[in-house]
Amino acid sequence: MNTSEIIETGQKYVMNTYGRLPMALIKGQGVHVWDADGNKYLDFVAGLAVNSLGHCHPAVVEAIREQAGTLLHVSNIYWIEPQVKLAQVLIENSALDKVFFCNSGAEANEGAIKLARKYAKKYMGPDKFEIITMHQSFHGRTLAAITATAQPKYQKDLDPLPQGFKYVPFNDFAALEEAITENTCAVMMEPIQGEGGVNTADYEYMQKVKQLCVDQNLLLIFDEVQCGLARTGKLFAYEHYGVEPDIMSLAKAIAGGFPMGALLAKQKVAECFQPGDHASTFGGNPLAAAAGYAAVSILADKEFLKDVTEKGLYFEQKLQDLKSKFSFITDVRGKGLMLGLGVTVEAKPIVDSCLSKGLLINAVAVNVLRFIPPLIISKEDIDEAVNILEDIMSQIN
């Protein structure tokens, strides 16, 4: 099928839930993808930060190939070796103690919400249930996760929403402190907001949030679905702040492109889940876990992380150079290879122009260009992307 045939058939049979670009991708290798008409693109979207090792990384492909020929799926009523190996590498490289595996970031956040409330009922009292989240956050599309997401546009026509969530501005400590009530049990936030506009938590703010949670006996939940797993140059974004969450959600990059999510927690919190409290039929299945073990083993490597940091700084400087040339660029934001450009013009036409020149990027929050490329990109790839951006921006009045 060519592009037009794929689109025509898809429009007939697939639900219209995405604002899709008029293209169909059929192949990927490293930092490049190809569409059904044979056009090649430099991919700085990476499956929305999923393909952090690029497309079809040999280690992930081989792990999937080998596991698919051995054991695809068994129930979690049995121990699963690849799952245990992945759990070990995650826990030994983090500040948390136990992990639960699921299939997506939304599921991981659902689990985080449930676990926080189970802990609250056990240790804080029967009236502790409320979770405070941040404006411009994004925590997933399930009903509880979308309620935790403090963006009304995602909640439209979904009433009645689950109770027990309160919203405050991001990076506003006074507002957070004031929002705490006798019902509050947890604070939930992304260290770097992805869908909200690549908004980065201030260091001092994060220090105060952690201390507040300690002083008020609240759980601190970090959603690292997008910013975790080497994306910022640290294996986990919380490492930039010198604070540790009580609960953390992961997904996206965890299995090198294969669907998977994970919920990590400190020992005392994790113990509040007992057999029958939470489950997922496909969570941590042999195939996903094998892919995850292959991917995370690479992402956790210190030399790999050092390389991501170096390339992130290089890319950030290139974007700063663009800012100095174009007055409509307001700021460069983010960490590592999770970067954004704030602009005073509409971002989508720039995205469309990049597409026409063979570069895939995307826009968030209307006026922010987001760059979440594979972490294996080279400086030459960065130069190519920036050159395309500069050419397009030079034509903007």
Read off the pLDDT of each residue in 62-77 and give the average, rounded to a whole number.
98
Over its C-alpha atoms, the chain yields an Rg (Å, rounded) of 21
220-262 pLDDT, tens digit each? 999 999 999 999 999 999 999 999 999 999 999 999 999 999 9
User: Are 202 and 136 within one domain?
Assistant: yes
- State the pLDDT at residue 397: 74
Q: Is the pLDDT of residue 369 over 80?
A: yes
- The proportion of the chain whose per-residue pLDDT surpasses 70, expressed as a percent, equals 100
Does 229 share its domain with 366?
no
Pick the last residue of a domain from 281, 299, 317: 299
Residue-averaged pLDDT of the chain: 97
Residues 49 and 110 in one domain: no
CATH number at residue 332: 3.90.1150.10
Across the beta sheet with 329-335, the strand order is: 329-335, 338-343, 368-371, 362-364
Picking from 268, 299, 330, the residue at the C-terminal end of a domain is 299
* Residues 9 and 118 both lie in one domain: no
Q: Which residues, in sequence order, are CB contacts of 295 under 8 Å at separation 6+?
A: 52, 53, 57, 59, 60, 253, 254, 255, 256
Residues 385 and 321 in one domain: yes
- Tens digits of per-residue pLDDT, 125-147? 999 999 999 999 999 999 999 99
**From the centroid of its chain, how far is CA 169?**
20
What average pLDDT does the segment 320-348 reach? 98
How far is CA 213 from its chain centroid? Answer: 23
The answer to whether residues 50 and 64 belong to one domain is no
Residues 202, 74 share a domain: yes
Q: What is the pLDDT of residue 365?
A: 87
Domain that holds residue 219: 59-299
Residue 376 has pLDDT above 80, yes or no: yes
Instruction: Judge if 135 and 157 occupy the same domain.
Output: yes
Task: Please report, as a single letter, which amino acid is at residue 199.
Answer: N
Q: What is the pTM of this model?
A: 0.97
Asked if pLDDT for residue 99 goes beyond 90, the answer is yes
Q: Are residues 51 and 128 located together in one domain of the fold?
A: no
Query: Residue 273 and residue 271: Cα distance in Å, rounded?
Result: 5
| 299, 324, 342 - which closes a domain | 299
pLDDT in tens, 12-50: 999 999 999 999 999 999 999 999 999 999 999 999 999
* Residue 267 shares a structural domain with residue 127: yes
pLDDT exceeds cutoff 80 at 299: yes
| 275: pLDDT strictly greater than 80 | yes
Are residues 205 and 295 both part of a single domain? yes
